[in-house]
Amino acid sequence: MENEKATPPYLEVNGLVKWFGADRAVDNISFGVERGKFLTLLGPSGCGKTTTLMSIAGLHGIDGGDIRVGDVTYTSFSKKLFLPPEKRDIGMVFQSYAIWPHMTVAQNVAYPLEIRKIDRAEIDSRVADVLRLVGLGDMADKLATQLSGGQQQRAALARAIVSRPRLLLFDEPLSNLDLKLREQMRVELKRIQNEVGITSVYVTHDQSEALVMSDEIIVMSKGRIEQKGGPHEIYAHPVNRYVSNFIGVANLLEGHVIRVTSPGHGEFEVNHGNERVILPCCLGEGLKEGAAAVLSVRPENVEARRKDPGTPRLEGEVLEAIFLGNCVDCRVRWGAFEWKVLAHPRDRLRPGERVFLHLDPDHSLAVQP
């Protein structure tokens, strides 16, 4: 229905500003998260993601904007309203676990319920349920110091969700784990979050975590939002060079859009020595004829062939061919540019070979510089 109003997001951040001295750590950002969804704030150190998370938690005051969860306003700068952290009904999982070593696992998990003075029988029932959910059902009576790093992180998660909070916040919770355990915990965290259905905001600099776990991703840089979207959208359709380079690996060529051939499609011109090479491509939002742009092509969308595919002719030399089992990670020199190519092992590419590169126009995207 045209007159139907859109449902407002469950978590809403509007015009958030935070200064640290002369440094504007968060620069007037706005976003929303639907109820039950998993949003990741992704970016390098210093981009403002953790400051945003801490502002939502009430661990930082703010210098502009509003933060609302459901029908409760947590912070409003203009109205001089600030709800203390302990009244925000938020569960938090930290990088350092923050598990009390002198307590058992069950005591750690029960603590948020005990300070709310919940009935003992209810506490015991909810602690048992949540420990089963996180895979620690048989470890309730162990001291926290007897747990491995991954188990401590599960205990920290159990403690964060046992009180059934309105919001669940994660501050780089997996960064202290080894790679194999980190990969396992990504899947587990997402499974548990889906099962309990708590709206979640997750902070990380790890693009793999973001892609695996998120319903939506916000890529941040210098206190601002560069792009917000689903994992596939962010990876396949980055809005600019920064996002393309930060999410995954990309071949990035500078040039110009010389022609728009149809809506969303055009031709991109790049200088190759004394040559002008024209490459058909998709066009990112806002790009018009004559616009300076960057062509972004993922390595899996570049094919290295021994036979000349014709125009456009991209001939180069294989510099490296590293066998990775299911693919071969290649570097191909094309004049001053080095292409990153993921080839099939059956192609048996070897260093020193001359090859011709084929780009799929539907997976070659011109974006803002």
Report pLDDT digits (tens) over 38-86.
999 999 999 999 999 999 999 999 999 999 999 999 999 999 999 999 9
Average pLDDT score over the chain: 93
Same structural domain for residues 290 and 357? Answer: yes
Q: Output the six-digit token pair for 3.
A: 């007159």
3's CB contacts (< 8 A; 6+ apart) are none
What tens digit of pLDDT does each residue of 315-351 get?
A: 999 999 999 999 999 999 999 999 999 999 999 999 9
Residue 115 lies in a domain: yes
Same structural domain for residues 80 and 187? Answer: yes
Residue 2 lies in a domain: no
Same structural domain for residues 359 and 292? Answer: yes
- CATH (domain of 263): 2.40.50.100
Residue 244 lies in a domain: no
Residue 46 lies in a domain: yes
Give the C-alpha separation, 147 to 160, whole Å: 17
Cis peptide bond upstream of 173, omega within 30: no
Give the C-alpha separation, 154 to 362, whole Å: 42
Same structural domain for residues 81 and 179? Answer: yes
The answer to whether 287 and 240 have CB atoms below 8 angstroms apart is: no
How many other C-beta atoms lie within 10 A of the C-beta of residue 79? 9
Same structural domain for residues 261 and 321? Answer: yes
Residue 1 lies in a domain: no
Q: Report, as an integer, the average pLDDT of 263-287.
A: 93
The answer to whether 165 and 129 have CB atoms below 8 angstroms apart is: no
- Quick check: helix, strand or coil at residue 330? strand
CA dihedral 297, 301, 302, 308 (to 10 degrees): -120
Residue 193's identity, in one-letter code, is: Q
Residue 325's identity, in one-letter code, is: G
- Quick check: helix, strand or coil at residue 17? strand
Place of tokens 């070979």: 353
Residue of higher predicted confidence among 149 and 300: 300
Q: Pick the last residue of a domain from 239, 259, 285.
A: 239
- State residue 288's pLDDT score: 94
Residue 164 lies in a domain: yes
Same structural domain for residues 164 and 70? Answer: yes
Same structural domain for residues 150 and 17? Answer: yes
- Quick check: helix, strand or coil at residue 366? strand
- Quick check: helix, strand or coil at residue 363? helix
Say whether pLDDT at 6 is over 70.
Answer: no
Nearest CA-CA partner of 136 in 176, 106, 100:
106
- CATH (domain of 120): 3.40.50.300
Same structural domain for residues 226 and 261? Answer: no
- State residue 275's pLDDT score: 86
Give me the numbers of helices (H) and strands (E) for the chain, helices first please.
8, 21
Same structural domain for residues 171 and 34? Answer: yes
Nearest CA-CA partner of 52 in 33, 36, 71:
33
What tens digit of pLDDT does each residue of 157-206 get?
A: 999 999 999 999 999 999 888 888 899 999 999 999 999 999 999 999 99
Q: Pick the last residue of a domain from 216, 239, 262.
A: 239
**Pair type for strands 302-305 and 265-272:** unpaired
Q: What secondary structure does DSSP assign to 38-92, as a single string?
A: EEEEE--TTSSHHHHHHHHHTSS--SEEEEEETTEEEEETTTTEE--GGGS-EEE
Residue 282 lies in a domain: yes
Same structural domain for residues 221 and 279? Answer: no
**Number of compact structural domains in the chain:** 2
Residue 96 lies in a domain: yes
Which range of residues forms the domain containing residue 62?
Answer: 11-239
12's CB contacts (< 8 A; 6+ apart) are 32, 66, 67, 68, 69
Same structural domain for residues 150 and 289? Answer: no
Percent of the chain surpassing pLDDT 70: 98
- State residue 1's pLDDT score: 44
Q: Report, as an integer, the average pLDDT of 8-16.
A: 96
Nearest CA-CA partner of 305 in 291, 315, 292, 295:
315
- State residue 7's pLDDT score: 77
Q: Pick the last residue of a domain from 239, 269, 301.
A: 239
Sheet holding 90-93, edge to edge: 90-93, 167-171, 200-204, 38-42, 216-221, 224-229
Same structural domain for residues 226 and 278? Answer: no
- State residue 145's pLDDT score: 85
Residue 183's identity, in one-letter code, is: E
Rounded to 5 degrees, φ, ψ at 128 are: -60, -40
